Structure 1
Amino acid sequence: MIKKLYLHNLNLVKELFELQRASYLVEAKLINFFEIPPLKESMEELMQSGETFFGYFDGDELAGAISYTIAGSELTICRMVVHPNHFRKGIAQSLLTEVEKNNQNLSELKVSTGKENSPAKNLYLKNGYKLVRDLEVVPGLFISNFVKRRVEER
């Protein structure tokens, strides 16, 4: 089940914080970079991110989460995390579908991931996102930027 997460519940924030750490540690190993900002943030910083969060629950367990911001007609996915115990169950796909369905009025969706994070890149590509560029953000670390533009019907 997918539902909106409200970050004033400290137990939920702690669960999200731990989920995020477990997920981003896997990405850190894939891209050989352990300074990913969400790995360094505190629970307070997570709570104050200003992002909208949705969580995927397997029973009572938070198995995955997605967050985003909206500016004008652009939605930027900030985080996509799935607990390693729940990889390859379609959770990231379900979360992405939910966000897209709930924001059909927006004309552009953006997301970035580590260039070496093939599972994430494949998810975005198969959902119609196009690779815009690979950007070297620090020496030796490349981030792949994707965009999905929606054509307005007339």
Structure 2
Amino acid sequence: MIKKLDLHNLSLVKELFELQTASYLVEAKLIDFFEIPPLKETMDELKECGESFFGFFEREKLAGALSYTIDGEELTICRMVVHPNHFRKGIAQRLLDEVENNKKDFRVFKVSTGKDNTPAKSLYLKNGYKLVGDLEVVPGLFISNFEKRRS
């Protein structure tokens, strides 16, 4: 089941914090970079991040989450996290479908991921996102930027 997350619910924020830590540690290993901002974030910073969240629940337990921000007609996906115990179950796909279906009036969707994060890049490409380019954000670390435009 997918539902909007209320970051005023402290037990839910704790669950989200633990989920994102587990998920981003896998990405950190994939891209060989352990300074990913969410890995350095505190629970209070997560709670106050200003992003909107959808969560995927399996048996009342948070198994995945997606966050986004909105700027005009653009929606930017900020976080896509799935607990490693739930990889390869289609959770990221369902979260992506949820945000796109819930936000039909947006013309531009943007997302970024580590250049070496092949599973994430494959997800976005198979869903119609186009690679806009790679950006070196710190020496030796490249981020791939994707965009999906609707008429």
Task: Identify the TM-score tier after normalising by the shorter chain.
Answer: over 0.9
Determine the C-alpha separation between the residues in 2 that align with 1:60 and 1:88. Answer: 19
TM-fit CA distance, 1:10 = 0.6
- State the partner residue of 2:27: 27
- State the partner residue of 1:3: 3
Matched, 1:100 2:61: no
- State the partner residue of 1:41: 41
**Superposed CA offset, 1:60-104 (max 9, x none):** 110000000001000000000000000000000000000000001
- State the partner residue of 2:67: 67
Letter in 1 for 2:138: V
Name the TM-score, length of structure 2 as normaliser.
1.00
What is the DSSP-based 3-state SS (H/G/I as helix, E as strand, rest coil) of the residue aligned with 2:112? Answer: strand
Letter in 2 for 1:132: V
What is the DSSP-based 3-state SS (H/G/I as helix, E as strand, rest coil) of the residue aligned with 1:145? Answer: strand
Letter in 2 for 1:60: E
TM-fit CA distance, 1:142 = 0.3
TM-fit CA distance, 1:119 = 0.2
> 1:4-153 alignment to 2 at 5 Å?
4-151=4-151
What is the DSSP-based 3-state SS (H/G/I as helix, E as strand, rest coil) of the residue aligned with 1:80? Answer: strand
- RMSD of Structure 2 on Structure 1 (CA): 0.3
Letter in 2 for 1:24: Y
Determine the C-alpha separation between the residues in 2 that align with 1:61 and 1:136. Answer: 36
Unaligned runs of 5+ in 2: none
Percent of aligned positions with the same letter in both sequences?
Answer: 77
Determine the C-alpha separation between the residues in 2 that align with 1:95 and 1:59. Answer: 16
**Superposed CA offset, 1:19-39 (max 9, x none):** 000000000000000000000
Letter in 2 for 1:36: I
Determine the C-alpha separation between the residues in 1 that align with 2:33 and 2:89. Answer: 26
May I ask how many residue pairs the two structures share in their alignment? Answer: 151
Determine the C-alpha separation between the residues in 2 that align with 1:29 and 1:139. Answer: 17
Letter in 2 for 1:130: K
